[in-house]
Structure 1
Amino acid sequence: MSDFAGKTIIITGAGKGIGRACVELFTERGAQIVAISRSQADLDDLAGKFGATAISVDLADTAAARAAMKKAGLADALINCAGTNVLESVIDMTEAGYEKVLGINLRAALICAQEFARARIANGGGGTIVNVTSIAGHRGFVDHVAYAASKAGLEGATRVMAKELGAYGIRVNAVAPTITMTELAAKAWSEPSKRDPMLIRHPMKRFAEVDDVARSIAMLVSEDAPIISGAVLPVDGGFLSV
Structure 2
Amino acid sequence: MARCFEGKTALVTGGSRGIGKALAERLLQEGAKVYVIGRSKENLNKLKVENPSFNTIQVDVSDWDQTKTAVEQIGYLTKKILSILGIEKFEEIINTNFKSAFNITKIVTRGLISAGRPGVVVNMSSVGGLKAAAGFMPYCVSKAMMDMLTKVTALELGPHKIRVNSVNPTILKTDMTKDICENEEFVHVYTSQHPLRKFATVEDVVNATLFLLSDDSAMITGSSLAVEGGYLIH
User: Is TM (by shorter chain) over 0.5?
Assistant: yes
Question: For residue 199 of structure 2, what is the aligned residue in structure 1?
Answer: 207
Question: For residue 95 of structure 1, what is the aligned residue in structure 2?
Answer: 87
- CA displacement, residues 48-93 of structure 1 (integer Å, 9 cap, x when unaligned): xxxxxxxxxxxxxxxxxxxxxxxxxxxxxxxxxxxxxxxxx99733
Unaligned runs of 5+ in 2: 1-80
Query: Secondary structure at 1:92's aligned position in 2?
Result: helix
Question: For residue 229 of structure 2, what is the aligned residue in structure 1?
Answer: 237
CA 194–106 in structure 1, closer or farther in 2 if over 3 Å, else same:
same
Q: Distance in 2 between matches of 1:227 and 1:238?
A: 24
Amino acid in the other structure paired with 1:180: L
- CA displacement, residues 102-134 of structure 1 (integer Å, 9 cap, x when unaligned): 001000000000001101001103100000111
Amino acid in the other structure paired with 2:211: M
Q: Distance in 2 between matches of 1:137 and 1:167?
A: 26
Question: For residue 167 of structure 1, what is the aligned residue in structure 2?
Answer: 159
Number of residue-to-residue matches in the alignment: 154
Cα displacement (A) at 1:211: 1.0
Return the structure number with greater relative CO, CA threshold 8 A, min gap 6.
1
Amino acid in the other structure paired with 1:142: A
Q: Distance in 2 between matches of 1:91 and 1:151?
A: 23
- CA displacement, residues 30-50 of structure 1 (integer Å, 9 cap, x when unaligned): xxxxxxxxxxxxxxxxxxxxx
Query: Secondary structure at 1:212's aligned position in 2?
Result: helix
CA 198–102 in structure 1, closer or farther in 2 if over 3 Å, else same:
same
CA 128–143 in structure 1, closer or farther in 2 if over 3 Å, else same:
same
Query: Secondary structure at 1:204's aligned position in 2?
Result: coil
Determine if the alignment matches structure 1 residue 222 to structure 2 residue 217. Answer: no
Q: Distance in 2 between matches of 1:188 and 1:113?
A: 33
Q: Distance in 2 between matches of 1:126 and 1:198?
A: 40
Question: For residue 148 of structure 1, what is the aligned residue in structure 2?
Answer: 140
Query: Secondary structure at 2:96's aligned position in 1?
Result: helix
Question: For residue 175 of structure 2, what is the aligned residue in structure 1?
Answer: 183
- CA-based RMSD of the aligned residues comes to 1.7
Determine if the alignment matches structure 1 residue 197 to structure 2 residue 189. Answer: yes
Contact 1:106–1:151, Cα closer than 8 Å, also in 2: yes
Matches within 5 A, 1:50-69: none
Unaligned runs of 5+ in 1: 1-88
More helix as a share of residues: 2
Q: Distance in 1 between matches of 2:190 and 2:82?
A: 21
The alignment-based identity, stated in percent, is 31
Cα displacement (A) at 1:202: 0.7
Q: Distance in 1 between matches of 2:129 and 2:154?
A: 19
Amino acid in the other structure paired with 1:158: T
Amino acid in the other structure paired with 1:98: F
- TM-score, scaled relative to structure 2: 0.63
Quick check: 190-199 or 156-165, which moved more? 190-199
Question: For residue 128 of structure 1, what is the aligned residue in structure 2?
Answer: 120
Larger of the two Rg values belongs to structure: 2
Question: For residue 32 of structure 1, what is the aligned residue in structure 2?
Answer: none
Moved over 4 A (4+): none
CA 174–230 in structure 1, closer or farther in 2 if over 3 Å, else same:
same
- TM-score, scaled relative to structure 1: 0.61
Q: Distance in 1 between matches of 2:94 and 2:177?
A: 20
